[in-house]
Amino acid sequence: MSHSSFSASRRKLLLASAAAGGAYLLPGLRNAVWAAGSDAPEKASLRVGFIPLTDCAPVVMAAVKGFDKKYGLTLQPSKEASWAAVRDKLTSGELDAAHALYGMIYGLQLGVAGPQHDMASLMTLNNNGQAITLSSQLKAQGVTDAASLTRAVAAQPKGAFTFAHTFPTSTHAMWLYYWLASAGIHPFDDVRTLVVPPPQMVMNMKIGNMSGFCVGEPWNQRAISDNIGFTVATSQQIWPDHPEKILATRAEWVNSFPNSARALTAAVLEAARWIDASDDNRRETAAVLAQRAWINTRVETLEGRMLGQYQDGLGKSWQETHPMRFFHDGAVSFPWLSDGMWFLTQMKRWGMLSAEPDYLAVARQINRIDIYKQAASAVGNVALPQSELRSSTLIDGKVWDGSDPAAYAAGFALNRQEKQK
C-alpha cells in the first residue's frame, strides 16, 4: 500500500469544495478567476493528445466542462491511434502536450524506444485501473490464475505463449513483466511479447494473436463483455495505487510557455478533482467518454470499473478498494519523484538501459514539481505532501520507496542484465 501525508479530514474538506466547484464555472465567472497580464498563458490554444482509454478522463473533462476557459486556455483534445503516434507528434511539436504513458516519457528522456528528447511530466493523471486479461481459450484449458498459467507455460516450448502490451517502455509492459516474473515466468525467455495499440487489443485476442494482454480500461472489461477473455490480475493487485498516465510535454515547451504549462496543469488538475468528487461525477464522465469523439463504446463498459465495481469474467465480483483514482486529495496528481524512478529501475532490470542512470537526477529533470505546485496554488485547496518520495509494497512483497534505486533494480532474481550489449 502507498503512504502519504493526506488526512481524512482534509479529504472531506476537499471533496466538499470539489463538489461545489461547478458553481465557479458559471459563464460570467469563468475568466474572472484567471489573473490577466503577466500571468496570462503565452499560448492559449493547445492541442493535447489522448488515447481512447478511461484514464484520458481529466484531459477530456477539462475541455468538456470548461475548466480550460477558467485558466485562459482553449484545449483541443486530439484522439490518437497509438502510443507511437503520441510519441511522434509530441516530440515533433504537433501536439503541445498529451495524456501519456509514464514509462514512455522516461524512455524518451534516455533515448529508449525512440530518439532522445528532454521531456517533462506536469502531473500524474491517474492511479490504478489497468489489468491483465487472459483469453477464454486458456480459461477452457483450466488456466485461471498465475499458478495455473505458470504450469501451462512450463509444459509448452518456450515462446508458445504470446502476450501483448502497449509500448516497449509502457506502464503495461512493466506491469505485465512484473506480474509474470512474480509468478516465475521470465517475460523475455519463456514467452513472446508484442506491442498492440489499446483499442485493437480485444480484436487481436479474438482472432487468436495472443494468449493475454495488459492494457488500460475499458478494454479489459470489453474482453469480458464480448466473452473473449477474463481478468486474471488488476494492476492495483500488482502495485496498490500505482502511478499510470501523466500529463506530458517537452521540456523545451515548458521553458517557452511556462504560464501555459501552469494553466494547463491547473485546468486538468481541477478536472481530476471534479471527477473524483462524487460517483455522480464519475457517471457523467463515463457517459461523456463513451461518446464517439472519445472512446466510442457502451457506457456500461466504462461505468462499472470507474465506480470500482469489478467482476473478473470467472464469476467473482467485488468492490475495488484501490479503484482508478484521478485526484484523491492530490495524492494521485502530485508528480512523485519515486514514481518516475521506479520505471527506471524496471528498464534497468530488463536490460533496456546498459548503464546505471542517475535515478534521482532524471526524475527531478522530468517531473516538474515547480509547475505542479504553482498550478495547485492556482486551483486552491490542493494538499501537497511533505516528501517528494512515497513508499509502496508490491505484489512480491518488495518495498519501493526510492531510497536506493540501484540496489532495488539489481535485487530481482528474474532479470535480463546478462543480455545487455
- Please tell me the predicted confidence (pLDDT) of residue 4: 44
**Helix, strand, coil shares of the chain as percentages rounded to 5?**
45, 15, 40
Q: Which fold has domain 130-241+410-419?
A: D-Maltodextrin-Binding Protein; domain 2 (3.40.190)
Architecture category of domain 8-126+247-393 in CATH: 3-Layer(aba) Sandwich (3.40)
For residues 311 and 21, the model is more confident at 311
Is it the case that residue 184 has pLDDT exceeding 80? yes
Is it the case that residue 9 has pLDDT exceeding 80? no
- Please tell me the predicted confidence (pLDDT) of residue 38: 78
Q: What percent of the chain has pLDDT over 90?
A: 89
Instruction: Please report which helix (H) or strand (E) contains residue 299, including its range.
Output: helix 299-306
Is it the case that residue 27 has pLDDT exceeding 50? no
Is it the case that residue 14 has pLDDT exceeding 60? no
- Please tell me the predicted confidence (pLDDT) of residue 269: 98
CATH 3.40.190.10 domain position(s) in the chain:
8-126+247-393, 130-241+410-419
Place of cell 465557479: 24
User: What is the tens place of the pLDDT at every residue in 323-338?
Assistant: 999 999 999 999 999 9
Q: How confident is the model at residue 155 (pLDDT cuts 50, 70, 90)?
A: very high
d(CA 140, CA 229): 10
Is it the case that residue 1 has pLDDT exceeding 70? no
19, 36, 112, 231 from 56: Cα distances, Å: 21, 29, 24, 21
Q: What percent of the chain has pLDDT over 70?
A: 90
User: What is the tens place of the pLDDT at every residue in 363-408?
Assistant: 999 999 999 999 999 999 999 999 999 999 999 999 999 999 999 9
d(CA 23, CA 16): 12
- Please tell me the predicted confidence (pLDDT) of residue 28: 31
Tell me the mean pLDDT in the region 165-189: 98
Query: CA torsion angle for 377, 381, 386, 389 (degrees, to 10)?
Result: -80
Mean model confidence pLDDT for the chain: 92
User: What is the tens place of the pLDDT at every residue in 31-44?
Assistant: 334 445 578 999 99
d(CA 86, CA 151): 38
- The whole model's pTM is what? 0.92
Cβ–Cβ < 8 Å for 400, 344: no
DSSP label at residue 4: -
